[in-house]
Amino acid sequence: MNYINEIAKLIKIQGVEPCDIESSLTTAADSSFGDYSLPCFKFSKALRQAPNAIAARIADGIESAKPDFLESVEAVGGYVNFSLDKKLFSTLTLGEIFQRAGEYGNSDEGAGKTVCIDFSSINIAKPFHIGHLGTTVIGAALYRIFKKLGYNAVGINHLGDFGTQFGKLIVAYKLWGDADDIKKRGLKALVDIYVRFHKEEEQDAGLTARAREWFLKIERGQEEAVALFNFFKEVTMKEVEQTYRRLGVTFDSYAGESFYNDKMQPVIDELKQKDLLKLSDGASIVDLSRFDMPPCLILRSDGASLYATRDLATIFYRKKTYDFDKCLYVVAYQQNLHFKQVFKVIELLGYEYHKDLIHVAYGMVSLEDGAMATRKGNMVYLSDVLDRAAQKSLAIIREKSPDLKDAEAVAEAVGVSAVIFSALINNRIKDNVFTYEKILNFDGETGPYLQYTCARCHSIIEKALGAFAADGSQAALYPSLAEALKSADADALTAPDAYEVIKLLGKYPDVIRAAKENYEPSLVTRHLIDIAQSYNKFYFDNRILDERSGVKNARVAITAAVKEVLKNGFEVLGLRVVERM
């Protein structure tokens, strides 16, 4: 049940739209005041009444014909506070979790709507480094969230496979490269010669001209240039796909910048036709000065295209191909101005869907010792970060659980999930300094803490209800849990600490929707932490397995529901379930 929606239906305020009432309802900040609250201050002017009088009238009207799901409706000052019937709410919430299992929180609100999500967008022949962590895992989480809500989500890896840097790499390869070394060492070998090129270029300006010539050969389809470019691309994709597999990230399209090379001219032609393209010092621009923005550069003075040119062609192609309802760009906040300019050009061209273009900005990931730069060679490969996190996890696990079976597999799951979680725990716009000690803490607000809570729940359920199904799933237990719920002790379900856990479980579908609305996966990670912390308090304060039948059934049902919602959230975020740690 969508309780906010149901409560909103009960409230009638003359001159106020039902949607405004629903949007005004909030979760009560203090549980002693109930579960939901309606502040009446905003209605005071329209009704020409004091907020407390409006609240009292609403409460009296609902209390006289209160539905079963409400325990009480009370006016306090200028607020109407609603308390749910705790037993009914608890049994309905737990029952729905057991009934829907992995589909808990799913909806069909996005049926028939398409959302394109441009994320990760690694560069060919450059390292897949820790700086790509944010865009990759935030974009993947949003992709899964939209899928969960019934949208047709299209994940796009807009590869950086166009530009003079490929001419530089060809020159470097022909001067110092070795095919066998590149096949053996992959991207590290390509980066080595790329870094060397930039060092040599400082002393030999002729290298720059040669690089431009080779890139021009790529653009014109010259056989050797294209063959070398494809070789670099093959080496890159082979290596990065391994990292994507470890992260559990997939894409529906790898159409990169080069894909749009023959799709830019129609955009340029349309800009000319609509008198938007102006000359400035030989370059072709769209003047955005009246919007307090620098000009959007479309063509350089030598006729070469730029990022904006290709991004405009990309938008046209995606609208025509996918007819998107929204197109998201998960790109660092340093590109705020770029996207404002490009989206404004789409608006000036007269396309209403400019409102559906969303820059999902995120903060930067850095290491304790500072920034990174490919040209200088001080990059930290994401694969190396995942390796080290897994190794450190293994050392911790062997110390804490020396007899654990499949310790290496568990360590891989814990280490990789810890890295993913580190990029999702905070508001996406916040910069993040990455430290292994912080992300691998089993007691803090971390991935390992969530996984350990999930493993604790698994152990309790296994002891209470016997071995799991032969296929390893918990689904076979749900009929037993649903049956146990019928005989669960009502007081055990509605005790303050138990009810706090159940309220958080019941709120999970709302959190999924809020994460979609705000393009903010951290709302899900924070909520999972809240669930885990609330459950662990419940666990330490209550006996579970050695209680009388009705109490045991209630507490086992809560434990099983916690595990199911944590698993559900793990799937959304890309974390891995670990059943023993």
Active site residue 552: no
Active site residue 126: yes
Please spell the DSSP secondary structure of 328-390, one letter per residue.
EEEEEGGGHHHHHHHHHHHHHTT-GGGGGEEEEEEPPEEETTB---TTTT---BHHHHHHHHH
156 pairs with which residues across the strands? 118, 253
The half-sphere exposure of 214 on its side-chain side, counting CA atoms within 13 A, is: 23
Angstrom distance (rounded) from CA 474 to CA 560: 9
**Gyration radius of the chain's alpha carbons:** 28
What residues have CB less than 8 Å from 571, skipping those under 6 apart?
A: 102, 144
Q: Which of 474, 461, 471 is nearest to 553 (CA)?
A: 461
Indicate which residue of 132, 158, 217, 567 is catalytic.
132
> CB of 202 within 8 A of CB of 195?
no
Angstrom distance (rounded) from CA 257 to CA 290: 30
> CB of 264 within 8 A of CB of 278?
no
**Beta-carbon count within 10 A of 30 CB:** 8
Indicate which residue of 42, 45, 87, 129 is catalytic.
129
What residues have CB less than 8 Å from 382, skipping those under 6 apart?
A: 127, 128, 129, 130, 132, 133, 243
Q: Which of 578, 576, 569, 560 is nearest to 93 (CA)?
A: 560
Angstrom distance (rounded) from CA 162 to CA 321: 22
Indicate which residue of 126, 158, 326, 503 is catalytic.
126
Active site residue 503: no
Query: How far is the first Cα of the chain from the last one, in angstroms, to the nearest whole number?
Result: 35
Residues designated as active site: 126, 129, 132
